[in-house]
Amino acid sequence: MRKAERLNDIVHHLRRMHQAVTAQTLAETLKVSHRTIYRDIQDLIDSGVPILGEAGVGYVIDKKYHLPPIMFDADELEAIALGIGMVSNWTDEKFAEKAQSAYRKIQATLPAPLINELHQISTFSAPSRYKIPWQVNFTEVRECIRRKHLVSFTYTDLSEQQSQRTIRPLALISFSPIWLLAGWCELRGAYRNFRLDRISDFTKLNTRYQDEKDKSLATYLKMVKEEENTANKSDGDCKYS
């Protein structure tokens, strides 16, 4: 969890409670150390958030304090709700829970007129019988990308040929109903896209990688953009390994 998200969660947690909350409770809730909570509380106080209390006793927040409201127009709300629906229906349970948590936080900050707009949204993403199942843990793949862990797996290509791959995972890309794992393939020495539904025996390696100029997400995205600018893309143009 990023620090900004954690600080926001601390404020929301304190506002919900009717009694002092200990650092231990906050640490257990947010899955961080007591020391991290103490630092975060002090950072919030230093930034002007009215938190009272001390280590070992507990903390309370002035209930009159509100986080600065986030303002959206109706179209922005519709786009956000659609995106949350797509995450909920096309990823995995853990990521869907995060999407719904974000939805609740947004809803909690909206003034009454915008809440009414939210309830009238008529653009939806529904579960589909065409969703292609995969064996990998979607959340684990995301974590490997975020924490830059090398990964290895068995890949079965469209000709049903299997190979062992070790890659630098860079991004997850949705081409509904297919999900692709984009990465730098050590075997091919090039960027490759791997269909999640054709990956098995996915393993997170202990080795973590550092971004290199020619082996990074930024360079991969630049390459994709250049390809899009120079050719009309077709279904067969995406480079599967």
53-66 residue pLDDT tens? 877 789 999 888 77
Task: Looking at the structure, tell me whether residues 103 and 176 fall in a common domain.
Answer: no
- Max CA-CA distance within the chain? 64
66: in domain: no
Assign 72 a pLDDT band (cuts: 50, 70, 90). confident
CATH number at residue 14: 1.10.10.10
For the chain, what percent of residues have pLDDT higher than 70?
90
Amino acid type, 88 = S
28: in domain: yes
End-to-end CA distance of the chain: 32
User: b/e map of 190-219 (b: 16 or more CB within 10 Å)?
Assistant: ebbbbbbbbbeebebeeeeeeeeeebbbeb
Q: Would you say the pTM of this structure is higher than 0.75? A: no
Instruction: Give Cα 129 distance to the centre of its chain.
Output: 24
Domain count, the chain: 3
d(CA 224, CA 241): 15
The stretch 116-132 carries a mean pLDDT of 76
Assign 240 a pLDDT band (cuts: 50, 70, 90). low
56: in domain: yes
Q: What does the pLDDT read at residue 236?
A: 43
Task: Looking at the structure, tell me whether residues 142 and 225 fall in a common domain.
Answer: yes
69: in domain: no
Q: What does the pLDDT read at residue 172?
A: 96
Q: What does the pLDDT read at residue 47?
A: 81
| pLDDT above 50 for 129 | yes
Instruction: Give Cα 78 distance to the centre of its chain.
Output: 20
Q: The domain containing residue 41 runs over which residues?
A: 3-61
The stretch 110-122 carries a mean pLDDT of 76
For the chain, what percent of residues have pLDDT higher than 90?
49
Q: What does the pLDDT read at residue 71?
A: 66
Helices (DSSP H) in 47-151: which residue ranges? 74-90, 93-109, 112-119, 138-147
